[in-house]
Structure 1
Amino acid sequence: MGLEIESRPSELPHIQRVWRSRSGEAGQMVSIATSHWELVFWEQQGVVRAAVLGPEGTASLAEVPADAEFFGISFAPGTSMPHIPVSRLVGGTASIPDVTRRSVWLKGSAWHVPNYDNAEAFVRRMVREGIVDLDPVVPAVLAGASPDVTDRTLQRRFVAATGLTQGAIRQIDRARQAAVLIREGVAAQDVVHLLGYFDQPHLARSLKKYIGLTATQLGARDGTPPLSLLYKT
C-alpha cells in the first residue's frame, strides 16, 4: 500500500504540526500513539469528510481507504476545545457533519475549509471565536519549567487540557524520539542511554506499546505497514 505523507511545523503555539497525505491502494497503517488531538479532512471519490481525532494512548492498526487525500492540523499539547472536553476524545473520534469542499460548519456558522497552506489563518479564527484555547502551563512544563502550583493542581490541568497525564505524554514523546533515532540508524543500545531507558527490554516494551513496531522493524522498514506521522519534535 502506498501512503505519501508530508508535514511541516507551525509558528503558532496552538499548532504542533500541519500535514497532508495521499493513499494508493486500500490497506492498513500503524497509527502510533499521540499526545495531541487533530482536526482532519479527507476526500475520497468526491466525498469530503471531517473529524476530530483524539489523543491515542497506545499504537494500533488503522484502515486506510484507497485513493484518498487527507489534510490535518495536529494541535499542540495544552490546546483544547472548551465545548468538547479532550478527555472524551482519548482513543476516539468525533465526526463533523455537513462538510463540502468549500465549507465546514463550526459554532453555528460556515467556515472555508482550510488547507495545507492556510491552516494558521483557520486556527487564528478558531482562537478568536473561542473554539480552541491554550493552557500555557502545559507547554511550559513540557519544556522544563517549574510553575508555582501544587503537583495535584498541575496533574489536574494536564488531564483537563490534554486528556492524558504528564507522565503519559512524556512516555509517548520519548518513544517517538526513540523511533526517529532508530530509523536514522542509531543502535538500540545507544538509544537506551540517550533517552534514559533502564535497559533494552524497557525500550522494547515502550516501542511496542506506543509505536507498534520493534526496533528491528523500525530499522528494516521493508515488509512492515506504513506508520502514521512520525517526526522530530
Structure 2
Amino acid sequence: MYAERASRLTGAVVWTNTPDGAGGGPVLPDGCMDLLWSEGRLLVAGPDTRPYVPEGPPRSWAGVRFYPGTAPALLGVPAHELRDLRVDLADLWPSARVRRLCEGVEAAPDPVAALEDIALGRAARTTAPDPLLGRLVERLDEGRPVAATAAELGVGTRTLHRRCLSAFGYGPKALARILRLQRALALARAGTPYAETALRAGYADQPHLAREVRELTGMPLGTLLGGG
C-alpha cells in the first residue's frame, strides 16, 4: 500500500510503500529524485526517463521525494550522473557518515521521520536551489514551449540545456515531456475522457497522447490505469 504526505521540507513529499499482495507497478518518470530507505539501507533514486521496475521480492520502502531540480544540490552530485539509477547513498557521501545515518534511522521510533530529518538537516547546510529552476518547472508544467520559456527567463538554449542536465538529469524538452505525462495521468485518473485529457494536458490529439504514454511508460494508457 502506498501513502504520502507533504514533508516538513518545503516542496518535498514523504511516502511509504508496503507490500499488500497486489503486486507493485512500475515507477514512472516524474522529474523528481528520492532519498530511499529499505531494509537497513539508504539509497538515492535518480531521475527516470523510463519506467523503473524494482527487482527481487516485494519489500517495504520509505522515501523523501524532492521537487524537480532540488535534489542535486542537497546530494552534491549532478542529476545526469544518476539518471535511471538507484545507488547506495554511501556511493555519494562518506561511508562512515552514511553508516551513522543508517544506524540512526534503524533505531528511530519513526524511521520515516528520521529519514525526513536527514533531508532537512542537509537542506539547512545547503544553499537554496536556484529560483530560476523552479520558475522553469512551473512554466513547463503550464505547457509553455521550451524556447519561449528560455527567452522569458533570459537564458540561452545551450545554457538552459546544460543547467537542466545538472538539475534534472536531462534537457528541458525531456523535462517538458515528463511533466506533460504527469498532467495527463492526473487527468485520466480523475476520470477525464482520454480525448479531453490529451487536449487539456497539451497533446495535439488522443493518438499523440497514446504514443507518448507508451514511449515513456512502456504500456498503453488503459493498461497503465488498470483498465486492461
Same fold (TM over 0.5): yes
Match of 1:18 in 2: 14
Residues 27 and 63 of structure 1 are in contact (CA less than 8 Å); yes or no, is this contact kept in structure 2? no
Q: Confirm whether residue 209 of structure 1 aligns to residue 215 of structure 2.
A: yes
Structure 1 unaligned spans of 5+: 99-103, 224-233
Compute the displacement of 1:151 (Å): 2.6
Q: Confirm whether residue 190 of structure 1 aligns to residue 196 of structure 2.
A: yes
Go from structure 1 to structure 2 and tell me whether the alpha carbon gap of 1:217 and 1:108 turns closer, same or farther (over 3 Å shift). Answer: closer
Deviation per CA, 1:7-57, whole angstroms, max 9, x where unpaired?
Answer: 1233534x43211010145955222113121111112xxxx2221111111
Go from structure 1 to structure 2 and tell me whether the alpha carbon gap of 1:40 and 1:60 turns closer, same or farther (over 3 Å shift). Answer: closer
Deviation per CA, 1:189-228, whole angstroms, max 9, x where unpaired?
Answer: 1011111211211100111122333232245x266xxxxx
Higher relative contact order (Cα pairs below 8 Å, separated by 6+ residues): 1
Q: Quick one: distance in 2 between partners of 1:192 and 1:222?
A: 18
Give the partner amino acid of 1:149. V
DSSP 3-state at the match of 2:83: coil
Match of 2:37 in 1: 41
Deviation per CA, 1:145-174, whole angstroms, max 9, x where unpaired?
Answer: 733332322222111111111111121111
Residues 179 and 211 of structure 1 are in contact (CA less than 8 Å); yes or no, is this contact kept in structure 2? no
Go from structure 1 to structure 2 and tell me whether the alpha carbon gap of 1:190 and 1:106 turns closer, same or farther (over 3 Å shift). Answer: farther
TM-score scaled by structure 2?
A: 0.77
Q: Quick one: distance in 2 between partners of 1:64 and 1:183?
A: 28
Structure 2 unaligned spans of 5+: 140-148
Compute the displacement of 1:91 (Å): 0.8
Residues 50 and 217 of structure 2 are in contact (CA less than 8 Å); yes or no, is this contact kept in structure 1? yes
1:58 to 26, 50, 54: 50
Compute the displacement of 1:121 (Å): 3.4
Deviation per CA, 1:131-150, whole angstroms, max 9, x where unpaired?
Answer: x8623211112223733332
Give the partner amino acid of 1:143. E
Q: Quick one: distance in 2 between partners of 1:75 and 1:182?
A: 24
Question: Could you tell me the percent identity over the aligned residues?
Answer: 26
Higher helix share: 2
Residues 178 and 195 of structure 1 are in contact (CA less than 8 Å); yes or no, is this contact kept in structure 2? yes
Match of 1:142 in 2: 137
Superposed CA RMSD: 2.9
Go from structure 1 to structure 2 and tell me whether the alpha carbon gap of 1:142 and 1:83 turns closer, same or farther (over 3 Å shift). Answer: closer
TM-score scaled by structure 1?
A: 0.76
Q: How does 1:65-214 map to 2 (within 5 A)?
A: 65-66=57-58, 68-79=59-70, 80-81=72-73, 83-97=76-90, 107=97, 110-111=100-101, 112-113=104-105, 115-117=111-113, 119-130=115-126, 134-144=129-139, 146-214=152-220
DSSP 3-state at the match of 2:153: coil
